[in-house]
Amino acid sequence: MGRKISIPGKDGAFSAYLAEPRSGAPGPTIVVAQEIFGVNAVMRQTCDWLAAEGYWAICPDLFWRIKPGIDITDQTEAEWAQAFDLYKAFNVDTGLEDLGATIAAARKMGATSIGTVGYCLGGLLAFLTACRTDTNAAVGYYGVGIDGYLGEAAKIKSPVMLHIAEEDGFVNKESQAKVKAALKGPLFEIYSYPGRDHAFARQGGKNYDATDAAAANARTLAFFRKHLR
């Protein structure tokens, strides 16, 4: 369903996966912020799912500065080791610049409104797009490290939805509590999923839970239907 495109950035062009709805016409667009496994099959399937719901969906290669074209899974120890090495080498600030460039490119392509959604590392990045870019709405799934950036929440002007796994092995309960306490008000929707671990919405992953993944995805779609016009 999708195809590869090139996004012009401040430090050079980088690739992205674009999935288009059947209409093919420009309209509401969602920028997908990747997990630590690159623009892999899961991220491409996420874009395809959003396209089937009527959105343009673009997933940029945020690891291109480290190594372009990362496409690995969560199925082997070697791939996990590679993913964590990439995560450690990744710079959040330049990653946000690349997401901003992707949003700008989407608007030039004719997008009428822009949403962002991210998972894991991308969950943090989606939150930060609400702080640092002109995204119209942002959704983060089990974002790692959001509590370290809560000082930027005052800059948020667009609605934000967060999905929190209560038994997240990468985000302890103290961090979860800080996020919930800080992000209150009409711009924020936060949902907690009791008993769920990190990546409960990643199909094929060991922590995948079909029921709560479906619930989170339904909430995400309703959120974007409301805020992307």
Question: Active-site residue numbers?
Answer: 168, 198
Give the list of residues 6+ apart from residue 211 with CB closer than 8 angstroms, or none: none
CA neighbor of 29 nearest in space, from 114, 101, 138, 107: 114
Strand 160-165 to 188-193 pairing: parallel
The Cα–Cα gap between 1 and 21 comes to: 9
Torsions phi, psi for 72 (to 5 deg): -125, 175
Residue 31: strand, helix, or coil: strand
Give the list of residues 6+ apart from residue 112 with CB closer than 8 angstroms, or none: 26, 27, 28, 29, 229
The Cα–Cα gap between 115 and 113 comes to: 7
Is residue 197 within 8 Å of residue 203, measured between CB atoms? no
Tokens found for residue 169: 């092995």
Residue 165: strand, helix, or coil: strand
